[in-house]
Each structure stands twice: as C-alpha cells, then as structure tokens.
Structure 1
Amino acid sequence: MTEHRPTSQTLSDTLDPARATALMATLGQGGTLGHGDPLPPFFHQIYFWEPHPPTDLGRDGHPKTGGFLPDLGLPRRMWAAGRLQWHRPLLAGIRAQKESRIEAVTRKDGRAGPLAFVRVRHDIRQRSALALTEWQELVYLGDDAARPSPPQARTDEDSRQSVRFDSTALFRYSALTFNGHRIHYDEAYARDVEGYDGLVVHGPLLAQNLMLLAAAKLGGLTEFSYRATAPLMHHQEAELCWKSPGSLWVRGPDGRQCMQAEAG
C-alpha cells in the first residue's frame, strides 16, 4: 500500500453534442442537442474520459489506484455520495477543462470492517469561467466487508414514478461514461466476487434520474446533493420519489431506500 499524497489533475474535452444526445436516448428523453445548447444537469459525467490500457486496470475493471486516486489497501471501490453547485450552464460543443484534486482521505473502522473515504473536488470551466463545482465521495472497502441493513425509505412523497434499468441500459450508461466497473455488466463477477444478487445499477445513474426529476419540478437546479444507501439490482423495479420543496429518494421494491437527495 502506498501512502496518500495530495494530488491534482486537469483534463480537457469538447462536450460533443452527439454524445449528449445519445445519453438523452439512453435515459428515455426525446430530442437532440446542438452546438451551444445548455447540457442537462449531470451530463458532464459522459465527458473527460481517462482511457487506460488493460494492464493498468484492476480486477474490477476500474483503473488501478496509486495514481491520482490513492492506494489504501482496500480492493473494492465505489461512488458513495456527491454534491454539485452550478454557476452557469455547460454548453454542448464547447471545449471545457476539469480540474480535480483530492480534498480529504479518511480511514474508519466500521461495522463492516475497515473502510476509507476519499473526497474529490472537481471544478469545470468553460470559456475561462467556472461553470460547475462537484464534490465526489468514494468509499473503499475490503473483500470481506459486510453490508449493513439498508434504511427504509420514506412514504410521504408528493409524487413518484416507477423506473427499471435492464442490462442494456446499464451497458449503454457504462459505455457513455467509460465506466469499466464490472458490477454493472458482468453478472458472474458481480455475484461471485462482490456478492451482489445481479448487476448493480450505477449510483450516478440513479442520481442522474433524480436530478432530471428535480430540475423538472423546480425549473432548474443550482445545488444538488445525494448519498447512496443501498444497491439496486438490474432485475428490480424502483420508484423515484419527490417531496416539496426539494427532497428526493429512490425506493426499492422491498421499501428500502437506495438513495436520498436534496435539490435547490
């Protein structure tokens, strides 16, 4: 295991309208995006790819740690939570820069065994102006980490809509975000190595759907925060729930809370 040292990196990308239109289709949204059109919230996830050769990947399909992300001696890694602040719209077809840096590394001994959290800050600029600030929280776990009992979701929503994400939807989202994590497309690996009961729906995909719901309810977004609390499998139906003035959550088929969020 290597010790963590503060690191940063900057990536540049042109926010291709065709890729954004492909994500809209994947999400079941109609229409197309052209040069200069504002991107829907969270669509920046399909840009700023970091391709690595197969020799630089871990067993889970993620890039190996020890570069920008620290090696903490815990083999399992996933996205646990996030927070976003929009300063101005990101525009399709325009080049943008993403500056990322590690803000904190926290080790803990929990009920599931040793774990660690890594908080990454991303600042995205376009035409030299800050457009978006995002905080991403990653959790590192050991192979033998037990899964805590999931919380039960609220039942006082003002509205809800049913959603289901089949293996095709997960594949397309993985492809668009260049996410190689095998729990989203390799069912044998997800079941036999990481102990899931099927393919795991991406946390960011759930967050993406909640953001679109919140943007529709509020007429736009300036802030959004979310936390994953339990996995959702590809063979399960879930409900996206909204409670005014800005609370959202994903309720699984057994009433468990898979994600909770706040929008403004």
Structure 2
Amino acid sequence: MNIGGWAPEPAETTELIGTAPSIALAGVLDVAAPADELPPLWQWLHFLERPAQHELGPDGHPLEGRFLPPVPNRRRMFAGGRFTVHSPIRYGDTITRRAELASTALKRGRSGELLFVTVRHTFVRDGDEVAVEEQDLVYRSGDPVSRPAQVSHESPVPEAPWTLPITADPVLLFRFSALTYNAHRIHYDEAYATRIEGHGGLVVHGPLLAMLCLELPRRAGHRARALSFRAQRPVYAGRPFVAAGSPDGALAIEVPGATAMTATFA
C-alpha cells in the first residue's frame, strides 16, 4: 500500500451550533434533549460534509476527500479516538473546527496491509481552544475478509454498576446515519455489508457505540472532561449488546462472550 507523499493541508469550518441536531439525537436515544450545551461527542452531529451524489463511491463514502488516503479499492473502518473538553460547547456558540492530519501508520493485519490514519479536530470559540478531538480510522484495500462466524443472539450480562442494554435495529441505524450524513452502505444495505465487505449483518456505527458508552456517566450526572475509546470488533444490528461502566472511569460495549469497544472517561 503506497500513499506516496500524501500530506493534506489543514482545513477550517465555522458553524453556529443550533439545537435541532441534539433534539433529533435525543429522540433516537429516547432521552430528554440537553438543555444548554453539547454533551461530549455530540459535535459529531455538526460540521458535516455533504458531498454530491456523483462524488460517492460504490461503498457510499466519497471517492475523494481532503483526509481520505489515496488507497485503491479503499474500505474504511472506525478504530477509536480521544476527546478533551476545556470548555463546553454551548448552543448559540459560533465554533470554528480546524481539521488536520495528525499521523499515519502502515501495519499488517490478518486481512493484509492496514493504513491507520488519525485526524485531529481543534474546536475554537472567539479565538480560544475549547476542545480537541482525534479520530483513528483504518483503511484497507483488496478483497473483503471472509464472513465471520454466526453471532450469538443471547444478551450479555456484564457485572458493572452502570448498564444500558440495547438492540440496534435497522431503523435506529438509518436514523443515526441520517443525523450524521453517513452514507456508508454497511449500516443500511445488508446485502452489501455481508456479501461485499464480509460482515455478519448490518454494522452498528462505531461513533454511536462511543456515544452510548458516554451516555452512562452522562445519565448518572457525571460531566466528562476527557475520554478515549477503542473499537475491537463490529457490533451487528438485531444482536443484543450492553453499554457497561462504572464511576471509576471504565466503560465498554459488551457482546456475548466478547468486548466490542473499550473506553475510559475522566
């Protein structure tokens, strides 16, 4: 896998933070909408890219983009990230997001070469840095991996002070895709997800799993100032999973017999 001298320049986007996206996500999560400020990670509902239809590839992602590596037959996976809050982003704020390529790393996995790309977003209000986010994305090229073994439909029963049992159905995935303007077909086209990309069903969005992890301390009244999360395996629609955590800062997404995502908050 050769990316040559790929080194995209930083880019800035400015947006007035409105309440409508948060109200919509609150409806998806069956919770009351936040009153004054964006909960951490809910900035993913803002600063969205809206490419034209002809600019999309066969997987639903844009064919080209400032931070999309020049990899042939590119397949994209969400790997994790980090988020630090210095000052809350409030509704009515005008926020500038500065995006830049933080790092790249080429590794070899079971399915071949993998390119890890980290994109850093710095959020600025009136010249002051209010938050910093890093997203870790993985790209591979070539044939899809073989379809995974049959996934259990049993509900995991983690031992944790905080638990949130969930079964994400296609309607929930569709609504989250719409809110984040995510056209990746693995989230709504089961034939594509299973036959082309080798998944065991429709894939629950990695960002949605991270948000569900952070719902645990938020619903318990904790205000997270720093968090990190790492995806370990896909979670599929229609299969029960549980967001689990504790006040000591440990969070996870548990599926039967395995952990799909780990996270920490402070």
Q: Normalization by structure 1: what TM-score? A: 0.90
Match of 1:115 in 2: 114
Structure 1 vs Structure 2: percent identity of aligned residues?
34
Query: What residue identity is the alignment partner of 2:143?
Result: D
Q: Is the 8 A contact 2:147 2:199 kept in 1?
A: no
RMSD: 2.3
**Corresponding residue to 1:210 among 198, 210, 213:** 213
Quick check: 1:143–1:194 contact (8 Å CA) kept in 2? no
> Which residue does the alignment assign to 2:249?
246
Measured after TM superposition, the shift of residue 249 of structure 1 is 0.6
Number of the residue aligned with 1:46: 45
| 3-state SS in 2 of match to 1:104 | strand
Q: Is the 8 A contact 1:46 1:177 kept in 2?
A: yes
SS in structure 1 of the partner of residue 227 of structure 2: strand
CA distance 1:149–1:85, shift in 2 (3 Å): farther
Deviation at 1:238, TM superposition (A): 0.5
For residues 122-166 of structure 1, the C-alpha deviation after alignment (integer angstroms, 9 at most, x for no partner) is 00112332111001000002343547999xx99553332211211
| CA distance 1:148–1:123, change in 2 (3 Å) | farther
How far apart, CA to CA, are the structure 2 residues paired with 1:106 and 1:208? 26
Query: Is the Cα–Cα contact under 8 Å of residues 112 and 148 in structure 1 kept in the other structure?
Result: no
Match of 1:13 in 2: 15
- Equivalent of residue 194 in structure 1, options 192, 197, 201: 197
Inter-CA distance 143–59: structure 2 relative to 1 (3 Å threshold): same
Q: In structure 1, give the amino acid aligned to 2:115.
A: A
Specify whether residues 118 and 79 from structure 1 end up closer, same or farther in structure 2 by C-alpha distance, changes over 3 A only: same
Residues 35-85 of structure 1: CA deviation (Å, up to 9, x unaligned): xx2112211101111111122111111112453322133510121111000
Match of 2:102, SS state, is strand
Relative to structure 1, the CA distance from residue 129 to residue 154 in structure 2 (aligned partners, 3 Å threshold; closer, same or farther) is: farther
Letter in 2 for 1:174: S
**CA–CA distance in structure 1, aligned partners of residues 135 and 60 of structure 2:** 19
CA gap 1:61/1:160 in 2 versus in 1, 3 angstroms? same
Q: What is the match of residue 94 of structure 2? A: 95
Summarize deviations over 1:167-222 as a string: whole Å, max 9, x none. 11111111111111111111111111111122110000010011121233462011
Deviation at 1:11, TM superposition (A): 1.1
Contact 2:12 2:96 in 1 (8 A): yes
Quote the Cα distance in structure 2 between the aligned partners of 1:154 and 1:69. Answer: 38
In the TM superposition, what is the alpha-carbon distance from 1:109 to its structure 2 partner?
1.7
In the superposition, relative to structure 1, how do residues 261 and 220 fare at CA in structure 2: closer, same or farther (>3 Å)? Answer: same
Tell me, in whole angstroms, the C-alpha distance in 2 between the residues paired with 1:148 and 1:58. Answer: 22
Report the Cα distance in structure 2 between the residues aligned to 1:260 and 1:147, rounded to whole angstroms. Answer: 25
Which of 194, 204, 227 is the aligned partner of 1:224? 227
> Which residue identity is paired with 1:261?
A
Q: Secondary structure at the match of 1:204?
A: helix
In structure 1, the residue matched to 2:168 is 165
- Change over 3 Å in CA distance of 1:32–1:215 after alignment to 2: closer
Tell me the SS of whatever aligns to 2:176: helix
Match of 2:236 among 222, 233, 238: 233
TM-score (norm 2): 0.89
Counterpart contact for 1:104–1:118, Cα < 8 Å: yes
Q: Which runs of 5+ in 1 are unaligned?
A: none
2:63 — aligned with what? 64
Confirm or deny: 8 A CA contact 2:145 2:198 kept in the other structure: no
Residue number in structure 1 paired with 2:80: 81
CA distance in 2, matches of 1:93, 1:81: 29
Q: In structure 2, what is the Cα distance between the partners aligned to 1:168 and 1:91?
A: 29
Q: Is the 8 A contact 2:98 2:123 kept in 1?
A: yes
Q: Distance in 1 between matches of 2:258 and 2:237?
A: 15
Q: Which runs of 5+ in 2 are unaligned?
A: 150-155
Whole-angstrom distance in 1 between the partners of 2:112 and 2:139: 11
Contact 1:101 1:120 (C-alpha < 8 Å) held by counterparts: yes
